[in-house]
Protein backbone atom coordinates (compact mmCIF):
# COMPACT_ATOMS: atom_id res chain seq x y z
CA UNK A 1 0.00 0.00 0.00
CA UNK A 2 1.46 3.32 -1.00
CA UNK A 3 2.06 6.06 1.55
CA UNK A 4 3.06 5.59 5.18
CA UNK A 5 1.60 5.80 8.69
CA UNK A 6 1.17 9.17 10.22
CA UNK A 7 4.27 10.19 12.21
CA UNK A 8 2.45 12.31 14.83
CA UNK A 9 0.26 10.72 17.56
CA UNK A 10 -3.47 10.44 17.02
CA UNK A 11 -5.52 13.34 18.49
CA UNK A 12 -7.24 12.77 21.79
CA UNK A 13 -10.35 10.71 21.44
CA UNK A 14 -13.63 12.64 21.36
CA UNK A 15 -16.68 10.53 20.61
CA UNK A 16 -18.81 11.81 17.78
CA UNK A 17 -22.42 10.79 17.51
CA UNK A 18 -24.28 10.64 14.27
CA UNK A 19 -27.69 10.86 15.91
CA UNK A 20 -29.06 12.21 19.25
CA UNK A 21 -28.65 9.81 22.12
CA UNK A 22 -31.59 7.70 23.26
CA UNK A 23 -32.86 8.06 26.80
CA UNK A 24 -31.17 5.91 29.37
CA UNK A 25 -32.42 2.37 29.37
CA UNK A 26 -33.57 2.34 25.78
CA UNK A 27 -31.65 -0.07 23.56
CA UNK A 28 -29.23 1.79 21.29
CA UNK A 29 -30.19 2.22 17.73
CA UNK A 30 -28.14 0.20 15.18
CA UNK A 31 -26.00 2.09 12.73
CA UNK A 32 -25.17 1.51 9.08
CA UNK A 33 -24.80 -1.85 7.44
CA UNK A 34 -24.45 -5.14 9.28
CA UNK A 35 -21.09 -5.57 10.99
CA UNK A 36 -18.41 -7.20 8.89
CA UNK A 37 -16.07 -9.74 10.46
CA UNK A 38 -13.06 -7.96 11.93
CA UNK A 39 -9.85 -8.36 9.94
CA UNK A 40 -11.50 -9.41 6.67
CA UNK A 41 -10.89 -7.68 3.33
CA UNK A 42 -12.17 -4.11 3.24
CA UNK A 43 -13.71 -2.54 0.20
CA UNK A 44 -12.48 0.87 -0.85
CA UNK A 45 -14.15 2.87 -3.62
CA UNK A 46 -12.23 6.10 -3.15
CA UNK A 47 -9.59 7.53 -5.53
CA UNK A 48 -6.37 5.65 -6.10
CA UNK A 49 -3.06 7.44 -5.52
CA UNK A 50 0.02 7.32 -7.70
CA UNK A 51 1.94 4.05 -7.46
CA UNK A 52 -1.13 2.26 -5.97
CA UNK A 53 -2.58 -0.93 -7.35
CA UNK A 54 -6.28 -1.29 -8.12
CA UNK A 55 -8.10 -2.12 -4.89
CA UNK A 56 -5.19 -0.85 -2.78
CA UNK A 57 -6.74 1.59 -0.31
CA UNK A 58 -7.15 1.65 3.44
CA UNK A 59 -6.81 -1.94 4.55
CA UNK A 60 -8.02 -3.58 7.76
CA UNK A 61 -7.97 -1.72 11.05
CA UNK A 62 -5.21 -4.07 12.16
CA UNK A 63 -2.81 -1.81 10.25
CA UNK A 64 -3.66 1.29 12.28
CA UNK A 65 -3.70 2.41 15.90
CA UNK A 66 -7.28 2.51 17.20
CA UNK A 67 -8.91 3.28 20.52
CA UNK A 68 -10.50 0.09 21.79
CA UNK A 69 -13.12 1.68 24.04
CA UNK A 70 -16.72 0.43 24.42
CA UNK A 71 -19.63 2.73 23.90
CA UNK A 72 -20.40 4.74 27.07
CA UNK A 73 -23.93 5.68 27.97
CA UNK A 74 -24.54 9.32 28.91
CA UNK A 75 -26.64 10.51 31.86
CA UNK A 76 -30.22 11.39 31.10
CA UNK A 77 -29.97 14.82 32.76
CA UNK A 78 -29.09 17.24 31.42
CA UNK A 79 -29.57 16.17 27.81
CA UNK A 80 -26.43 16.64 25.71
CA UNK A 81 -26.18 19.43 23.20
CA UNK A 82 -26.68 18.46 19.57
CA UNK A 83 -23.30 17.30 18.19
CA UNK A 84 -21.59 19.09 15.33
CA UNK A 85 -22.01 17.53 11.89
CA UNK A 86 -19.42 14.77 11.47
CA UNK A 87 -16.54 15.39 9.08
CA UNK A 88 -16.58 13.56 5.83
CA UNK A 89 -14.47 10.43 5.98
CA UNK A 90 -12.40 9.03 3.14
CA UNK A 91 -13.91 5.56 3.65
CA UNK A 92 -16.60 4.06 5.86
CA UNK A 93 -15.37 1.94 8.72
CA UNK A 94 -17.29 -1.23 9.53
CA UNK A 95 -20.14 -0.93 12.00
CA UNK A 96 -20.31 -3.04 15.13
CA UNK A 97 -19.03 -3.17 18.63
CA UNK A 98 -16.04 -0.98 17.85
CA UNK A 99 -18.03 2.19 17.35
CA UNK A 100 -15.15 4.29 18.58
CA UNK A 101 -12.93 2.93 15.84
CA UNK A 102 -15.68 3.62 13.32
CA UNK A 103 -15.83 7.27 14.28
CA UNK A 104 -12.06 7.62 14.53
CA UNK A 105 -10.66 10.33 12.22
CA UNK A 106 -7.60 9.44 10.15
CA UNK A 107 -5.16 12.01 8.89
CA UNK A 108 -5.38 12.50 5.12
CA UNK A 109 -2.75 10.56 3.31
CA UNK A 110 -0.25 12.73 1.40
CA UNK A 111 -0.38 12.08 -2.30
CA UNK A 112 2.92 10.94 -3.78
CA UNK A 113 4.08 12.68 -6.91
CA UNK A 114 6.52 10.00 -8.02
CA UNK A 115 9.16 12.64 -8.83
CA UNK A 116 12.01 10.55 -7.42
CA UNK A 117 11.02 7.58 -9.59
CA UNK A 118 10.65 9.82 -12.65
CA UNK A 119 14.11 11.41 -12.05
CA UNK A 120 15.77 8.01 -11.68
CA UNK A 121 14.12 6.76 -14.87
CA UNK A 122 15.26 9.89 -16.73
CA UNK A 123 18.88 9.32 -15.70
CA UNK A 124 18.78 5.71 -16.89
CA UNK A 125 17.30 6.77 -20.23
CA UNK A 126 19.95 9.51 -20.58
CA UNK A 127 22.77 7.06 -20.00
CA UNK A 128 21.25 4.59 -22.47
CA UNK A 129 20.95 7.35 -25.07
CA UNK A 130 24.62 8.19 -24.70
CA UNK A 131 24.18 11.70 -23.22
CA UNK A 132 27.08 11.09 -20.86
CA UNK A 133 29.80 9.62 -22.95
CA UNK A 134 33.51 9.90 -22.92
CA UNK A 135 35.50 9.41 -26.11
CA UNK A 136 38.33 10.71 -28.26
CA UNK A 137 38.10 14.17 -29.81
CA UNK A 138 38.16 13.37 -33.51
CA UNK A 139 38.51 17.05 -34.40
CA UNK A 140 41.70 17.58 -32.47
CA UNK A 141 44.82 17.52 -34.65
CA UNK A 142 47.85 15.45 -33.73
CA UNK A 143 51.53 15.06 -34.55
CA UNK A 144 52.52 13.12 -37.68
CA UNK A 145 55.68 11.34 -38.77
CA UNK A 146 56.72 9.68 -42.03
CA UNK A 147 59.67 8.29 -43.91
CA UNK A 148 60.72 6.69 -47.14
CA UNK A 149 63.75 6.37 -49.38
CA UNK A 150 63.93 10.16 -49.27
CA UNK A 151 62.13 12.90 -47.37
CA UNK A 152 58.52 12.18 -46.53
CA UNK A 153 56.27 12.43 -49.55
CA UNK A 154 59.03 13.33 -52.05
CA UNK A 155 58.29 11.23 -55.11
CA UNK A 156 55.84 9.16 -53.01
CA UNK A 157 53.09 11.36 -51.58
CA UNK A 158 51.31 10.33 -48.39
CA UNK A 159 48.69 8.16 -50.04
CA UNK A 160 47.21 5.16 -48.23
CA UNK A 161 47.93 1.81 -49.82
CA UNK A 162 45.03 -0.21 -51.20
CA UNK A 163 42.94 -1.78 -48.48
CA UNK A 164 44.37 0.36 -45.67
CA UNK A 165 41.94 1.97 -43.22
CA UNK A 166 41.06 5.63 -43.32
CA UNK A 167 43.24 8.13 -41.48
CA UNK A 168 42.83 8.49 -37.72
CA UNK A 169 40.90 5.22 -37.57
CA UNK A 170 41.64 3.45 -34.28
CA UNK A 171 42.08 -0.27 -33.83
CA UNK A 172 39.37 -2.26 -31.95
CA UNK A 173 41.45 -2.09 -28.78
CA UNK A 174 42.08 1.67 -29.14
CA UNK A 175 39.45 2.92 -26.60
CA UNK A 176 40.96 0.90 -23.74
CA UNK A 177 44.48 1.69 -24.89
CA UNK A 178 43.64 5.39 -25.15
CA UNK A 179 42.34 5.41 -21.56
CA UNK A 180 45.52 3.72 -20.35
CA UNK A 181 47.63 6.12 -22.40
CA UNK A 182 45.83 9.10 -20.87
CA UNK A 183 46.65 7.85 -17.39
CA UNK A 184 50.25 7.19 -18.36
CA UNK A 185 50.55 10.68 -19.85
CA UNK A 186 50.05 12.32 -16.48
CA UNK A 187 53.10 13.90 -14.91
CA UNK A 188 55.10 11.66 -12.57
CA UNK A 189 54.37 12.15 -8.90
CA UNK A 190 57.76 13.78 -8.40
CA UNK A 191 57.11 16.32 -11.15
CA UNK A 192 53.71 17.23 -9.79
CA UNK A 193 54.69 17.42 -6.14
CA UNK A 194 57.80 19.49 -6.75
CA UNK A 195 56.24 22.06 -9.09
CA UNK A 196 57.11 25.61 -8.10
CA UNK A 197 55.36 28.90 -8.62
CA UNK A 198 57.41 29.47 -11.79
CA UNK A 199 56.04 26.20 -13.22
CA UNK A 200 59.35 24.37 -13.12
CA UNK A 201 59.47 20.67 -12.27
CA UNK A 202 62.23 18.27 -11.32
CA UNK A 203 61.15 15.66 -13.91
CA UNK A 204 59.55 16.24 -17.30
CA UNK A 205 55.94 15.01 -16.98
CA UNK A 206 55.11 11.80 -18.82
CA UNK A 207 58.69 10.48 -19.03
CA UNK A 208 59.61 7.33 -17.14
CA UNK A 209 62.98 6.57 -15.61
CA UNK A 210 64.34 4.80 -18.70
CA UNK A 211 63.70 7.77 -21.00
CA UNK A 212 64.90 10.31 -18.44
CA UNK A 213 68.18 8.37 -18.23
CA UNK A 214 68.61 8.52 -22.02
CA UNK A 215 68.56 12.32 -22.12
CA UNK A 216 72.24 13.47 -22.34
CA UNK A 217 73.51 15.30 -19.28
CA UNK A 218 74.60 18.26 -21.46
CA UNK A 219 71.16 18.60 -23.07
CA UNK A 220 69.20 21.67 -21.95
CA UNK A 221 66.41 21.58 -24.56
CA UNK A 222 64.06 18.61 -24.98
CA UNK A 223 61.22 18.38 -27.50
CA UNK A 224 58.69 15.83 -26.18
CA UNK A 225 56.33 14.38 -28.83
CA UNK A 226 53.72 12.29 -27.04
CA UNK A 227 51.37 10.15 -29.12
CA UNK A 228 47.86 9.36 -27.91
CA UNK A 229 48.31 5.62 -28.37
CA UNK A 230 50.65 3.09 -29.89
CA UNK A 231 48.30 2.62 -32.89
CA UNK A 232 47.06 6.20 -33.29
CA UNK A 233 48.47 9.09 -35.32
CA UNK A 234 47.78 12.18 -33.23
CA UNK A 235 50.45 13.68 -31.01
CA UNK A 236 51.11 16.65 -28.73
CA UNK A 237 54.49 18.40 -28.81
CA UNK A 238 56.09 20.50 -26.05
CA UNK A 239 59.53 22.12 -25.83
CA UNK A 240 61.13 21.85 -22.37
CA UNK A 241 64.12 23.90 -21.22
CA UNK A 242 66.45 23.12 -18.33
CA UNK A 243 67.06 25.89 -15.78
CA UNK A 244 70.35 26.73 -14.10
CA UNK A 245 69.15 24.68 -11.10
CA UNK A 246 68.63 21.61 -13.27
CA UNK A 247 64.82 21.86 -13.24
CA UNK A 248 62.58 21.91 -16.33
CA UNK A 249 60.12 24.51 -17.63
CA UNK A 250 57.67 23.67 -20.39
CA UNK A 251 56.45 25.78 -23.27
CA UNK A 252 53.18 25.63 -25.17
CA UNK A 253 51.51 22.35 -26.06
CA UNK A 254 51.28 22.02 -29.85
CA UNK A 255 48.98 19.53 -31.54
CA UNK A 256 50.02 17.62 -34.67
CA UNK A 257 50.39 14.14 -36.16
CA UNK A 258 52.69 11.13 -36.25
CA UNK A 259 52.78 8.13 -38.60
CA UNK A 260 49.59 6.68 -40.02
CA UNK A 261 49.71 3.40 -38.07
CA UNK A 262 51.22 4.79 -34.87
CA UNK A 263 54.55 4.00 -33.19
CA UNK A 264 57.22 1.28 -33.06
CA UNK A 265 60.54 0.50 -31.37
CA UNK A 266 61.70 -1.33 -34.52
CA UNK A 267 61.04 1.05 -37.38
CA UNK A 268 61.44 -0.17 -40.95
CA UNK A 269 60.91 1.65 -44.20
CA UNK A 270 57.29 1.56 -45.30
CA UNK A 271 55.79 0.28 -42.03
CA UNK A 272 53.94 3.59 -41.61
CA UNK A 273 55.00 3.88 -37.95
CA UNK A 274 57.11 6.54 -36.24
CA UNK A 275 60.25 5.40 -34.39
CA UNK A 276 60.17 5.52 -30.58
CA UNK A 277 63.30 6.87 -28.94
CA UNK A 278 65.56 9.80 -28.06
CA UNK A 279 67.22 11.49 -31.05
CA UNK A 280 69.35 14.60 -31.41
CA UNK A 281 68.25 17.66 -33.42
CA UNK A 282 71.15 19.22 -35.32
CA UNK A 283 69.95 20.54 -38.70
CA UNK A 284 67.07 22.52 -40.17
CA UNK A 285 65.96 23.67 -43.61
CA UNK A 286 63.01 24.28 -45.87
CA UNK A 287 61.66 25.71 -49.09
CA UNK A 288 61.13 29.09 -47.48
CA UNK A 289 63.80 31.45 -46.25
CA UNK A 290 65.49 31.01 -42.88
CA UNK A 291 63.09 32.37 -40.21
CA UNK A 292 65.98 33.03 -37.78
CA UNK A 293 67.35 29.56 -37.06
CA UNK A 294 70.34 29.06 -34.77
CA UNK A 295 70.74 25.53 -36.14
CA UNK A 296 72.38 25.22 -39.58
CA UNK A 297 69.56 26.01 -42.04
CA UNK A 298 69.39 24.76 -45.65
CA UNK A 299 67.04 26.75 -47.89
CA UNK A 300 66.44 24.60 -50.96
CA UNK A 301 63.70 24.43 -53.63
CA UNK A 302 63.83 20.64 -53.37
CA UNK A 303 61.89 20.77 -50.10
CA UNK A 304 58.68 20.21 -52.04
CA UNK A 305 55.89 17.67 -51.94
CA UNK A 306 52.64 17.33 -53.86
CA UNK A 307 49.53 15.22 -53.92
CA UNK A 308 47.18 14.34 -51.09
CA UNK A 309 47.66 12.60 -47.78
CA UNK A 310 45.90 9.76 -45.98
CA UNK A 311 42.99 12.01 -45.02
CA UNK A 312 42.70 13.48 -48.53
CA UNK A 313 44.43 16.69 -47.43
CA UNK A 314 46.81 18.64 -49.64
CA UNK A 315 50.50 18.03 -48.89
CA UNK A 316 51.85 21.16 -50.57
CA UNK A 317 53.83 23.36 -48.16
CA UNK A 318 54.55 20.58 -45.68
CA UNK A 319 58.31 21.04 -46.14
CA UNK A 320 58.37 24.82 -46.08
CA UNK A 321 60.11 24.41 -42.69
CA UNK A 322 61.70 21.22 -41.35
CA UNK A 323 64.00 20.08 -38.53
CA UNK A 324 65.81 16.82 -39.20
CA UNK A 325 65.41 14.10 -36.53
CA UNK A 326 68.72 12.24 -36.31
CA UNK A 327 67.24 8.80 -36.95
CA UNK A 328 69.37 6.78 -39.42
CA UNK A 329 71.02 9.87 -40.88
CA UNK A 330 74.39 11.65 -40.78
CA UNK A 331 74.16 14.65 -38.41
CA UNK A 332 75.64 17.96 -39.54
CA UNK A 333 74.20 17.76 -43.05
CA UNK A 334 71.15 19.07 -44.86
CA UNK A 335 67.91 17.24 -44.04
CA UNK A 336 67.90 16.33 -47.77
CA UNK A 337 71.03 14.19 -47.32
CA UNK A 338 69.93 10.67 -48.45
CA UNK A 339 72.57 8.64 -46.58
CA UNK A 340 71.27 5.91 -44.24
CA UNK A 341 74.05 4.62 -41.90
CA UNK A 342 71.90 1.68 -40.69
CA UNK A 343 70.81 0.69 -44.20
CA UNK A 344 67.92 1.75 -46.39
CA UNK A 345 65.56 -0.90 -44.98
CA UNK A 346 65.55 0.92 -41.62
CA UNK A 347 63.98 3.95 -43.27
CA UNK A 348 64.98 7.58 -42.96
CA UNK A 349 63.95 11.13 -43.74
CA UNK A 350 62.27 11.42 -40.32
CA UNK A 351 61.62 15.12 -39.72
CA UNK A 352 59.62 17.59 -37.69
CA UNK A 353 57.77 19.55 -40.36
CA UNK A 354 54.69 21.63 -41.12
CA UNK A 355 51.46 19.79 -40.31
CA UNK A 356 49.25 19.15 -43.35
CA UNK A 357 46.18 18.04 -41.41
CA UNK A 358 46.71 14.29 -41.45
CA UNK A 359 49.08 11.43 -40.58
CA UNK A 360 52.43 10.91 -42.26
CA UNK A 361 54.77 8.03 -43.10
CA UNK A 362 56.94 8.45 -40.00
CA UNK A 363 57.57 12.14 -39.22
CA UNK A 364 56.21 14.46 -36.54
CA UNK A 365 54.27 17.53 -37.70
CA UNK A 366 53.09 20.73 -36.01
CA UNK A 367 51.40 23.90 -37.36
CA UNK A 368 53.54 26.22 -39.50
CA UNK A 369 53.66 29.10 -37.02
CA UNK A 370 54.83 26.64 -34.34
CA UNK A 371 57.52 25.32 -36.70
CA UNK A 372 59.02 28.77 -37.16
CA UNK A 373 58.87 29.33 -33.40
CA UNK A 374 60.62 26.00 -32.77
CA UNK A 375 63.33 26.71 -35.36
CA UNK A 376 64.09 30.09 -33.80
CA UNK A 377 64.23 28.59 -30.28
CA UNK A 378 66.40 25.50 -30.77
CA UNK A 379 69.99 26.28 -29.82
CA UNK A 380 72.95 24.06 -30.81
CA UNK A 381 74.65 25.05 -27.56
CA UNK A 382 71.76 23.47 -25.64
CA UNK A 383 72.33 20.13 -27.41
CA UNK A 384 68.59 19.73 -28.22
CA UNK A 385 67.00 16.30 -28.52
CA UNK A 386 63.53 14.96 -29.22
CA UNK A 387 61.92 12.27 -27.05
CA UNK A 388 59.16 10.72 -29.13
CA UNK A 389 56.70 7.85 -28.76
CA UNK A 390 53.25 6.97 -27.54
CA UNK A 391 52.37 8.00 -23.98
CA UNK A 392 52.46 4.46 -22.54
CA UNK A 393 55.90 3.73 -24.00
CA UNK A 394 57.40 7.03 -22.82
CA UNK A 395 56.18 6.43 -19.27
CA UNK A 396 58.38 3.34 -18.84
Comparing CA positions, the residue from 341, 306, 333, 143 lying closest to residue 233 is: 143
Q: Alpha-carbon distance 220 to 197, whole Å?
A: 21
First to last CA, the chain: 61
* pTM for this prediction: 0.57
Q: Alpha-carbon distance 113 to 341, whole Å?
A: 79
**Sequential pLDDT tens for the chain (396 residues):** 444 444 545 455 455 444 455 555 555 555 455 555 545 455 445 444 444 444 444 444 444 444 444 445 555 556 666 666 655 544 444 444 444 444 545 555 555 555 544 444 444 444 434 333 333 333 333 333 334 445 544 544 444 444 444 444 443 344 444 444 444 444 444 444 467 888 899 999 999 999 999 999 999 999 999 999 999 999 999 999 999 999 999 999 999 999 999 999 999 999 999 999 999 999 999 999 999 999 999 999 999 999 999 999 999 999 999 999 999 999 999 999 999 999 999 999 999 999 999 999 999 999 999 999 999 999 999 999 999 999 999 999
Q: Alpha-carbon distance 82 to 72, whole Å?
A: 17
- Residues 337-367 have pLDDT tens digits of 999 999 999 999 999 999 999 999 999 999 9
Q: Alpha-carbon distance 120 to 98, whole Å?
A: 44
Q: Are strands 385-390 and 277-286 parallel, antiparallel or unpaired?
A: antiparallel
Peptide bond into 73 cis (omega under 30): no
Q: Which residues contact 324 (CB under 8 A, 6 or more apart)?
A: 281, 282, 283, 284, 285, 334, 335, 350, 351
- Residues 217-255 have pLDDT tens digits of 999 999 999 999 999 999 999 999 999 999 999 999 999
DSSP 352: E
Residue 360 · residue 234 · CB < 8 Å: no
Nearest 5 degrees, angle CA 384-CA 388-CA 389?
170
Q: Alpha-carbon distance 135 to 157, whole Å?
A: 31
Amino acid sequence: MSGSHRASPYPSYEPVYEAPQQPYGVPPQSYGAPQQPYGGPQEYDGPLYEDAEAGDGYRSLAEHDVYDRPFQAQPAEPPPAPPAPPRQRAAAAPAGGRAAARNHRRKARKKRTGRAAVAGTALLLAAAAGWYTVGQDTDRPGVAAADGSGPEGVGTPDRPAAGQPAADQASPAAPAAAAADARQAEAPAAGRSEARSDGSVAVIPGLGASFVARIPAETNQVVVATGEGVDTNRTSVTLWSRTAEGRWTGGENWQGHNAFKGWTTDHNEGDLRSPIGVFSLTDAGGRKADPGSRLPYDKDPNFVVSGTGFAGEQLAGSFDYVVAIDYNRVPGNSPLDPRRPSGSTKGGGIWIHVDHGGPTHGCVSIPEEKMTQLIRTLDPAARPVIVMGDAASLAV
